[in-house]
Amino acid sequence: MTPDNKHELHMIHSAPGVESQPIAGGPTQAARLPDFSADTGPATSTASDLRERLNAFAIRAVDILVSAILLVLLLPVILIAVIVIRFDSPGAAFFRVDRLGFHGRPLRMLKFRKMRDDAAGPNLTTDDDHRFTRVGVLLAKLKIDELPQLWHVLRGEMSLVGPRPEDPEFVAMHEHVYQTILSVRPGMTGLSQIAFAEESKILDDDDPHSHYVGKILPQKVLLDEMYAEERSLVLDLRILSWTTAAVIMRRQVAVHRDSGKMNLRRRESA
């Protein structure tokens, strides 16, 4: 989700789903990031605050345990992906995209490379994007390109469940709401990720940027804010369960925009 190569950037900054590709040129051009460091008021030692601390501790414990186990179990898959990507097309196996993370800290999110090393064009990817490599098409379809983010989870930069890390450009459009959203760690999966798992198929091929900003982003912001306000270990386990079901059953999961309730989408009649 890449600016034109004529700009002398060291890294192409991408919107959701778009790769940042290293190109020749000068140093990285720093973008102005929203300030999320403002004091939110004095801390309180209420029972509610204690429950929130315990809840955060439990979520972090699950993140560490699960991400460590998955990194070990999936190591053969990761190594095979690295080899196949390198043999399929010139370029590195990994790439990074610039996002805003926990408390608005810059997050250089790690992914497997799906696009050609010299890819340029729109900063959002649509279905059957011509910039994808042969292996990249498979990685995108199976969501394998997201596996390297388990490393961010283990390091504490991300969580298994949380708001999707967003591009600074789009965060600036909803800066006030992101004060709440970025109060929790961004996640590999979450309400907005499940709701828009087929985003590349939804985006308007003619003007994906306007479609994303006007139609999709506001809905994502709504769901991410809902999650940040209602975050709990129980909600995380529900989201992980629905994510697992969606991956195994290859079915789309619907997320109610007002309640966050999840259920399988009905199959369209033939």
Q: How confident is the model at residue 199 (pLDDT cuts 50, 70, 90)?
A: confident
- Domain residue limits, the chain: 54-264
Q: Are strands 187-189 and 159-161 parallel, antiparallel or unpaired?
A: parallel
What is the rounded CA–CA span in Å between residue 113 and residue 139?
9
pLDDT, tens digit, for every residue of 123-164? 678 777 788 899 988 888 888 889 999 999 999 999 999 999
In degrees rounded to 5, what are phi and psi of residue 22?
-70, 130
3-state secondary structure of 154: helix
Asked if pLDDT for residue 101 goes beyond 70, the answer is: yes
Distance (Å) of CA 247 to CA 195, 197, 250, 252: 13, 11, 5, 9
Q: What percent of the chain stands above pLDDT 90? A: 54
Q: How confident is the model at residue 122 (pLDDT cuts 50, 70, 90)?
A: low
Choose among 139, 223, 133, 108: nearest CA to 177: 223
Residues 204-230 have a mean pLDDT of: 92
Task: Give pLDDT, residue 37.
Answer: 56
Asked if pLDDT for residue 73 goes beyond 60, the answer is: yes
